[in-house]
Amino acid sequence: MASHSSSPVPHPSSGGSEGIFRKDRDPSSRQYRPVHSLPDVCPKEPTGEATRGLCEGPSVVADQHRWTVYNSKVNLPAALNDPRLAKRESDFFTKSWGLDFAETEVMPSFYLPNITKEHFGPYLQETAQREKIHERCKNICPNKDELDAVSSITNNHDKSRTELEQVPKIFMKPDFALDDPTTFNAVLPWSHFNSAGRKSSRDMASSRLLQEKLSHYLDVVEVSIARQISLRSEAFFHAMSSQHELQDRLTETARAVAVLRGRTAAIERIMCEGPLRALRQALTRSNCARLHNKLKLMAAVHQSQPTVQLLLSTSEFVGALELIATTKEVLQQELQGIHSFRHLGSQLCEMEKLIDKMMVEDFSMYSRSDLSRSLEDDGQVMEKWSLFSQMQYKRSVSIKDRLESLVFGLLRQRKLDFLDIYSDEMILAAKSIVTQSVVDSVSQIEEIDTDIVTKLADQMRLMTFPQWFELLKSVFENFILFLKRIKATLSVVRNVVLEALDSNQKSRLLERAAAGGLAEAPGTPLNQGEAELAYLTHEGLFISDALNDAQLHLGAGGGQEQSSTVGPRQALSRLDGCGSDSASGTTESSSSREHAFQPGGAAGISSSEDMMPSDLELGRVANNIQELLYTASDVSHDRCVKVLMARAKDGSLERLSSAEFVFLSQAVEGFVKDTEELCCRRSVSLRGALQSQANRFVHRFHEERKTKLSLLLDNERWKQAEVPAEFQDLVNSIADGRITLPERKPQGTEERKPSDYLHIDGQKYAVVGTVLLLIRIFLEYCQCVNDIPSISTDMLTRLSDLLKHFNSRSCQLVLGAGALQVVGLKTITTKNLALASRCLQLVVHYIPVIRAHFETKLTPKQYSVLRHFDHITKDYSDHIAEISAKLVSIMDSMFEKVLSKYEVKAPMPSACFRNVCKQMAKMHEALYELLPEEQAQMLFLRINASLKIHLKRQLARLGVHHDGGPQHGLVTVDVAFYTENVQSLRTLEKLDLNMAEIWEQKR
């Protein structure tokens, strides 16, 4: 009988009828294989290797915690290969695993290549020819057995299918149900029967026919079912025979399970009960030890309040805060819910608030005492805390360590605004410094009655300048000491903040190392429990002592006790042994702060990490410290400005002499530089006030000298003055590069005779007295710039104005003949003009020197103001050229007047040329001693050119030509006489007069 697996796979019929599947009837389009029987689903009794495999089957002992195939409840391959899948379709998973399960498309693996038809192209090309030959051979010579089997199966299947097709399709529907009226009426057509209920012979025949038809359908179906059963009878009988073998195997399995359970019970009785009893006893002992430790911890916590009070009595704020933090952590972690400690947490919080208040008050007291103590002390912090603390201690504590401990406590409590307290006290102290300085100075002056003049500003204005200047220097000195004291205190605070920053960074590095598995390396810092123990104190045992005790304890322990960590509970329990050391004294708070900054210290436990400021906040505090130092510098400068402006209110600073103002400027600049070195801050208020006064001083300084110069010019008679020896020394010092006023020589030194000329760089300058004083005046400007560099630009502008004023006023007096009315001169002579020109040349000589000097005092951004000297040089050069032109024009007008009457007749030389030579001699006599040789030659060349123009014009008018005639000879005699006389003058011997130009060239 053929098995079920040999049946062809049904396909939906092309007829479109529901529930009916038809085979492909074309035998040539299908290839059939021989029919094989189903595999044995229940194998026979195993023997040999199979028996050993059964003995090595699942073990209850070994496999009790491991999933095996025997834990399977559903044979998933059988369920998926269920032939009824067409009816159940895809509801298997949703029924088993819920409605949320849905089939999803499985993403292709990225590690498997995408195989396409092209990959098999070469193989198909190789096998295509052989496949064609194989198919052709199969068609020509088919297998006989296969043909018989195929024909029998096909005939039986076609016959059964034909019979089944006679059965109506309604019986094949999966939803067939007779309780449905439509289905019932379709199966039993009662319309063929009598509706009146009367039975007729026709109705009887119809019902019998219907019954026979239905019986026929039943027979057809039963025959088809029997045929299908017969096809699978071998598998059914095989399954029935396998049940006996299965029963035998189950019996053997039950026997093996019973033996295994007996062995398991013996193992439990012999090997498990004793060790388990020992474990229970060890656990009981451990619980008892934990209870004992808990009781000891409670006793230690009970002693925390007295310990905190003892620490506060010695102002050990850091240790008290750490003890409170650790105790609160123990209460929250280890002793939570203990009824006797229900109020301890709130009490500790109140104590912490009290400590905060105490620290703020102590810091405020320190700030007030440190800033208000006598300035005669050194600039460092106070040496003894007892100087300002209201508490009485057994021994005085170092103020530096005390301050460091106090600052660290404030940082730990996040009281980051404590610098505001110091800032307020600093401002008050700065005010009191000025007040005390004024009071001390006024008390030494008998002329000032403090009962009548009560205001400090009025008292300062009643002082003479030396008295007020001494007061100002005293204020400066006091503020320098004041800033040194502030810087020393802020340096201590900054060191604490930077130490806290370093501690935070080290903590993070250790945490990263511990996270990377490096925490157990030898020589690592103290662990969390050790650090906590280092912060716990009891009745005077300070942090360093507790830390040493913890290290000794950990070093003496062995085994697990040595490697175990000491938590808050164990740390507090150690306090019971410290009570006897209450009288052992105290250590400096620097030791506690040093351990507090350790990465494994209290800053490392969770509570302290929450309390300590972050790196960003610590950085802000550090910046605030620097800003506070800047503020101290600004406040000091502002207070000094008050002193300066109180004096300057009535204009007394404007009336200072240049020397006095220089002293004031130097004192202010010295104070400013000292504060910049101390505070690294360039405060501008005092410099600005000094600059304002300097501007007023410069204005008065300039107006005085401008007025003085104007008076000198108005009284100047423009005659050559003698040059005193001191002025010659002055210009000599300028030539040596010293642009300063020489010191006045004491009287009694030998007097040197004055000279007629001022000798500069090998040249002689004939000058008037006003120019000598002008040289001294502009040296005063340069000296003032040396002493007060801040007024360089303003002084340069004023000096340029002074030089312009001298140029313009001298031009008005000489070229404009203003001296005739101002001084009463009868006329402006050539000598006056030459002196004015020479004086202007002297000023032009010194303008580059002045420019170079000012350039050294200016910044590159201020070089643009130097252009004033270029304009001044141009104005002076134009003025000098105008004077030269004036001298030439004087002779030109004389030539025009004399030569217009010139006649060519005997006697020779003519009176006209005699007069010309006489005037030329006078001009040379006036200019020879005043102008240098080169200028004199150039001037007389111009005068000679003017003479030639007028002579040439007169000869043309007279009709005298260069023809060798008598008139030509007479003119030649006059010209020779003129040339001889001019060249006989000193410095004019080699002057090329070129008199041939008087004759017109013939065309």
Q: For 952-984, how does the pLDDT look when each residue is reduced to its tens digit (9 = 90+)?
A: 999 989 888 888 888 898 999 999 999 999 999
Q: Which residues contact 349 (CB under 8 A, 6 or more apart)?
A: 328
Instruction: State the Cα–Cα distance between residues 437 and 840, nearest whole angstrom.
Output: 53
Report yes or no: 539 and 306 within 8 Å, Cβ to Cβ: yes
Q: For strand 21-22 and strand 758-760, is the pairing parallel, antiparallel, or unpaired? A: unpaired
Question: Up-side HSE of residue 260: CA atoms within 13 Å toward CB?
Answer: 13
Rounded alpha-carbon distances, angstroms, from residue 873 to 316, 761, 842, 846: 78, 19, 11, 10
More confident residue, 182 or 398: 182
Sheet strands (E) in 684-817? 758-760, 763-765
Instruction: State the Cα–Cα distance between residues 915 and 978, nearest whole angstrom.
Output: 10
pLDDT tens per residue, range 31-50: 434 443 434 433 444 444 44
In the chain, the percentage of residues whose pLDDT exceeds 70 is 72
Report yes or no: 636 and 687 within 8 Å, Cβ to Cβ: no
Q: What is the CATH number of domain 901-999?
A: 1.20.1280.130
Instruction: State the Cα–Cα distance between residues 610 and 627, nearest whole angstrom.
Output: 27
Instruction: State the Cα–Cα distance between residues 271 and 940, nearest whole angstrom.
Output: 144
Question: Which of 137-141, 234-238, 557-561, 827-831 holds the top average pLDDT?
Answer: 827-831
- The phi and psi torsions of 765 (rounded to 5 degrees) equal -120, 115
Instruction: State the Cα–Cα distance between residues 690 and 696, nearest whole angstrom.
Output: 10
More confident residue, 22 or 416: 416
Rounded alpha-carbon distances, angstroms, from residue 651 to 461, 697, 752, 788, 940: 10, 10, 42, 19, 57
Q: Which CATH class is domain 691-742+753-887?
A: mainly alpha
Instruction: State the Cα–Cα distance between residues 74 and 667, nearest whole angstrom.
Output: 105
Give the per-residue pLDDT at 921.
93
Instruction: State the Cα–Cα distance between residues 18 and 22, nearest whole angstrom.
Output: 11
User: Whose structure tokens read 């210009």?
Assistant: 731
**239-254 average pLDDT score:** 84
Instruction: State the Cα–Cα distance between residues 477 and 489, nearest whole angstrom.
Output: 19
Give the per-residue pLDDT at 346.
78
Instruction: State the Cα–Cα distance between residues 461 and 969, nearest whole angstrom.
Output: 90
CATH 1.20.1280.130 location in the chain:
901-999
Report yes or no: 486 and 371 within 8 Å, Cβ to Cβ: yes
Element (H, E) at 808: helix 792-810
**625-629 average pLDDT score:** 85
Least reliable range by pLDDT among 51-60, 183-192, 693-702: 51-60
CATH 1.10.357 location in the chain:
691-742+753-887
Q: Which residues contact 323 (CB under 8 A, 6 or more apart)?
A: 304, 307, 308, 311, 535, 536, 537
Report yes or no: 718 and 783 within 8 Å, Cβ to Cβ: no
Give the per-residue pLDDT at 351.
78
Least reliable range by pLDDT among 239-243, 668-672, 744-748: 744-748
Q: Is the pLDDT of residue 583 over 50?
A: no
Instruction: Please give the mean pLDDT across all residues of the chain.
Output: 75
Report yes or no: 790 and 857 within 8 Å, Cβ to Cβ: no
Instruction: State the Cα–Cα distance between residues 769 and 773, nearest whole angstrom.
Output: 7
pTM above 0.85, yes or no: no
Surface-to-core class of residue 913, CB atoms within 10 Å of its CB (0-12 exposed, 13-18 middle, 19+ buried): buried
**739-749 average pLDDT score:** 66
**Which ranges of 817-866 does DSSP label H, i.e. alpha helix?**
819-822, 830-857
